[in-house]
């Protein structure tokens, strides 16, 4: 039984892996928590799902200050030292970018999983706090990508930087052409985001000069994907699959 942990800017997502992803749980990311709080959370997560005998854990984090407390909590509760994802681990990939040490651990996990699970040249798009795109060649070369504000960040910015626009929670727009403030914002947020992603996909394909398979993941993917015709595959557990793979390659 593996414990897989994805620490994002907005949420910490955890699951157990035993032949497949099981018991996915999510909590808000709060850097102020200490090792005792994380230990209580982990104990409750395990008790609730009747889990014992965890043999290993993998942590993927884009919030570095949380890692020490989580590592200590895992040692206290499970008696194990987790594997921390970085470009230095075996991933099956060859990084062809400047400063690979700065690459987000979630993007490493996504790319490793996609290269293992899918064929051909790949674009991996993660719709999260930020929307990230990664380009991986059919030979496993990680060529780089793009980062843009996610839908939630865009919604926050509209509200915070204007005097009258409300904070609108992103959902699929009911109308393509908005006829009130909320529907205007939703059309701009979702359709505009979809259009930006489609343009990036097109430019990536042109730059590579070859056919590309596009795989989507991330908590906000479901809102945007109906409006992007070029994305045919989605895998909500892609990051977890990458963490499992990295564990198997490095354990």
Helix axes 35-48, 67-78, angle to 10 degrees: 50
- Cα torsion 105, 106, 111, 112 to 10°: value is 70
* CA–CA dist 43, 37 (Å, integer): 10
- Give strand pairing partners of 215: 124, 233
Which tokens is 10 given? 């907005």
* CA–CA dist 17, 239 (Å, integer): 12
* CA–CA dist 214, 211 (Å, integer): 10
- Give strand pairing partners of 131: 127, 148
| DSSP H or E run through 46 | helix 35-48
Q: How many residues does the chain have?
A: 251
As annotated, the active-site residues are 106
């Amino acid at each position: 039984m593996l414990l897989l942990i994805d620490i994002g800017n907005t949420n910490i997502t955890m699951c157990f892996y035993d032949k497949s992803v099981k018991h996915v749980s999510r909590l808000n990311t709060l850097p102020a928590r200490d090792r005792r709080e994380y230990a209580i959370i982990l104990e409750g997560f395990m008790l609730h799902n009747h889990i014992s005998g965890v043999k290993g854990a993998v942590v993927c984090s884009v919030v570095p200050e949380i890692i020490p407390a989580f590592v200590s909590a895992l040692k206290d509760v499970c008696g194990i030292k987790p594997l921390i994802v970085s470009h230095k681990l075996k991933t099956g990939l060859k990084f062809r970018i400047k400063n690979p040490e700065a690459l987000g651990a979630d993007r490493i996990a996504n790319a490793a999983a996609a290269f293992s699970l899918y064929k051909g040249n790949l674009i991996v798009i993660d719709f999260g706090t930020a929307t990230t795109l990664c380009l991986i060649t059919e030979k496993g070369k990680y060529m780089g990508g793009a980062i843009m504000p996610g839908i939630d960040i865009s919604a926050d910015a509209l509200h915070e930087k204007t005097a009258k626009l409300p904070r609108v929670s992103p959902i699929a727009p009911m109308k393509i052409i908005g006829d009130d403030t909320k529907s205007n914002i939703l059309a701009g947020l979702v359709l505009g985001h979809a259009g930006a992603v489609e343009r990036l996909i097109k430019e990536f394909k042109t730059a590579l000069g070859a056919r590309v398979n596009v795989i989507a993941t991330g908590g906000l993917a479901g809102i945007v994907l109906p409006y992007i015709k070029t994305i045919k595959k989605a895998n909500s557990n892609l990051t977890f699959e990458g963490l499992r793979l990295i564990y198997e390659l490095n354990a």
